Amino acid sequence: MEKSLRRITMTLINLLRTSWVGVSSNKLRAVLTTLGIIIGVASVISMQALGNGARAAVEGQFRFLGADSIQLSSRMLIDDGELKDPEKPLTFQDGLLMPQEVPLVERVEMSVNTSAKIRFGRSSFEQSIQGVTAGALNQIAGSGEVQPVGWPDGEPLNAEAFLQSGRFFTEAEVLEGAEVCILGSKTAYDLFGGDDAIGQTIHVGRESCEVIGVVVELESVDVSKRYREEHNLTFFMPVSTVINLLFEEEPRVFMTAIVKDVNRIDEAKKHIIDYLRNRHGVVADENGEYADDFDLTTRKDILGAQQEAAGTFALLLVAMAVVSLIVGGIGIMNVMMVSVTERTREIGVRLAMGARQRDIIAQFLVESALISAVGGVLGIVAGILSIPGAAALNSGNALLDPGSIPLSFGVAVLTGILFGLYPAVRAAHLDPIECLRYE
């Protein structure tokens, strides 16, 4: 048994040595032959990384949308190539009445965005203002996008962790349109320096409001985005207050409906659609179709669209990889055919001295596998090195999939073997006498 194993090992070593000599006898040709394999493997790895990055970016953008949440937004109209607000956008009253009219809805978080000049003493500047409901800090805490500076990794977040001083406004203050506000840490510093902001009155446009809270200094959970300061430039007011004081017309309101039972979210979605159609006077046309002026999105919808896009991307990836590898395989087959022709006398000598057909086949298959293996290794290196460049073209979103490395290498070697099979079989079936006569 031991002798048999040793003999097999020696045979494999000799076969590899002989094959390597055959491949390295013309290095330039061998390198050029591997280009197709290199491109195919590199494209698989880099495009897989781009796909993973795109999926991660989508998941990150909608991380705040829990399994029990339905996001609602006004459907924009296209007029002469320009986006315009619908005639009846989603309003504060739509969201306020929804829990009463749709029993499956527990509550509705709402927000509007605008800007205005804020002033305190000699400090005055244009400020982005977010009108939100009382649960806004809980939404921010649950988004997983930002955290207090120095927050321990893995430590759960809640709304209280985001307040440096004071408090957030209540649901009662949202309903009554109280003139109160909460400042981000940088906004508070720009207005008051190091002084206490709580209880101070500041001017917002032509109106005024009382500062009741200051948010702690925040940083992005993503380390690569921690240079940004927008998390600390926030300015929160009750959504009703912003609508009453800073808008002349009813603005579009963004909403997130929280349902009572996650298992009935599809049913809740249908009831919300019926409720909004009734509120907005949307009726079916003669074909039974509804021209809704709003859109509803759940995590299930996003994941479904994401999976569909991922499937399309995977097909594109497979097609590109197959084309590149076929081109590389044809190159390997052509080179091996040339090699068989150049080494006809060598093949004849080996056959005349007792070499079996399977020995000849094995030698040429190992040579083609070596060429494709070298191309696979170089393709893996090229693919990994190309990921930063690919990420730069995709807003920094590219994630290497470790599983794509052995898969790409295995496919590359298999390609070499498959396309090297015909030249190997042809070499093995040459007539030894004719081979020895070959000049």
What is the structure's pLDDT at 8? 44
- Using the predicted structure, report yes or no on whether residue 15 has a pLDDT greater than 70: no
CA distance 408 to 414: 10
Contact 412, 325 (CB under 8 A): yes
pLDDT classification of 27: cutoffs 50, 70, 90: low
Got the DSSP string for 191-256? HHTTS--TT-EEEETTEEEEEEEEEPPEEESSGGGTT--GGGS-EEEEHHHHHHHH-SSPPP-EEE
- Using the predicted structure, report yes or no on whether residue 112 has a pLDDT greater than 80: yes
Taking only the tens place, the pLDDT of each residue in 312-351 is 776 776 677 778 778 888 888 887 787 777 777 777 777 7
- Using the predicted structure, report yes or no on whether residue 11 has a pLDDT greater than 60: no
Of the candidates 60, 220, 227, the residue with the CA atom closest to the CA atom of residue 149: 220
What is the structure's pLDDT at 249? 85
- Using the predicted structure, report yes or no on whether residue 217 has a pLDDT greater than 80: yes
Amino acid (one-letter) located at 297? T
Contact 49, 390 (CB under 8 A): yes
SS (H, E, C) 49-100: HHHHHHHHHHHHHCCCCCCCEEEEEECCEEECCEEECCCCCCCHHHHHHHHH
What is the structure's pLDDT at 166? 92
Q: Determine the distance from the C-alpha atom of residue 139 to the mean position of all C-alpha atoms in its chain, rounded to a whole number.
A: 22
What is the structure's pLDDT at 12? 52
Q: How would you class 335 by CB atoms within 10 Å of its CB: exposed for 0-12, middle for 13-18, buried for 19 or more? A: buried
CA distance 273 to 326: 51
Amino acid (one-letter) located at 419? F
CA distance 414 to 321: 13
Alpha-carbon dihedral 260, 160, 63, 156, rounded to 10 degrees: -100
Q: Which residue has the higher pLDDT, 134 or 390?
A: 134
What is the structure's pLDDT at 231? 80
pLDDT classification of 68: cutoffs 50, 70, 90: confident
**Picking from 235-249, 263-277, 413-427, which range would have the lowest pLDDT averaged per residue?**
413-427
pLDDT classification of 236: cutoffs 50, 70, 90: very high
Taking only the tens place, the pLDDT of each residue in 151-193 is 887 777 777 888 899 999 999 999 999 999 999 999 999 999 8
- Structural tokens at position 329: 């395989």
- Using the predicted structure, report yes or no on whether residue 261 has a pLDDT greater than 60: yes
CA distance 376 to 382: 10
Q: What is the pLDDT averaged over residues 424-436? A: 77
What is the structure's pLDDT at 19? 47
Contact 89, 74 (CB under 8 A): yes
What is the structure's pLDDT at 203? 93
pLDDT classification of 225: cutoffs 50, 70, 90: low
CA distance 221 to 225: 8
Q: What is the pTM of this model?
A: 0.61
- Using the predicted structure, report yes or no on whether residue 10 has a pLDDT greater than 50: no
Between the CA of residue 254 and those of 9, 112, 212, 246, 273, what are the distances in Å?
70, 6, 24, 16, 15
| The most confident of 45-49, 252-256, 280-284, by mean pLDDT | 252-256
* pLDDT more than 70, % of the chain: 80
What is the structure's pLDDT at 99? 92
Q: What is the pLDDT averaged over residues 110-127? A: 91
Q: Which residue has the higher pLDDT, 15 or 409?
A: 409
Q: Which residue has the higher pLDDT, 261 or 62?
A: 261
What is the structure's pLDDT at 395? 59
Q: Which residue has the higher pLDDT, 315 or 106?
A: 106
**245 contacts: CB under 8 Å, gap ≥ 6:** 179, 204, 205, 207
What is the structure's pLDDT at 101? 92
- Using the predicted structure, report yes or no on whether residue 63 has a pLDDT greater than 70: no
Q: What is the pLDDT averaged over residues 106-121? A: 92
User: Cα-flanking dihedrals φ and ψ of residue 83, to 5°?
Assistant: -80, 130
* pLDDT more than 90, % of the chain: 23
Q: What is the pLDDT averaged over residues 120-133? A: 91
What is the structure's pLDDT at 127? 92
Distance separating the N- and C-terminal Cα atoms of the chain = 44
Residue 123: strand pairing partners:
120
Q: What is the pLDDT averaged over residues 116-132? A: 91
CA distance 238 to 222: 29
| The most confident of 131-135, 153-157, 226-230, 322-326, by mean pLDDT | 131-135
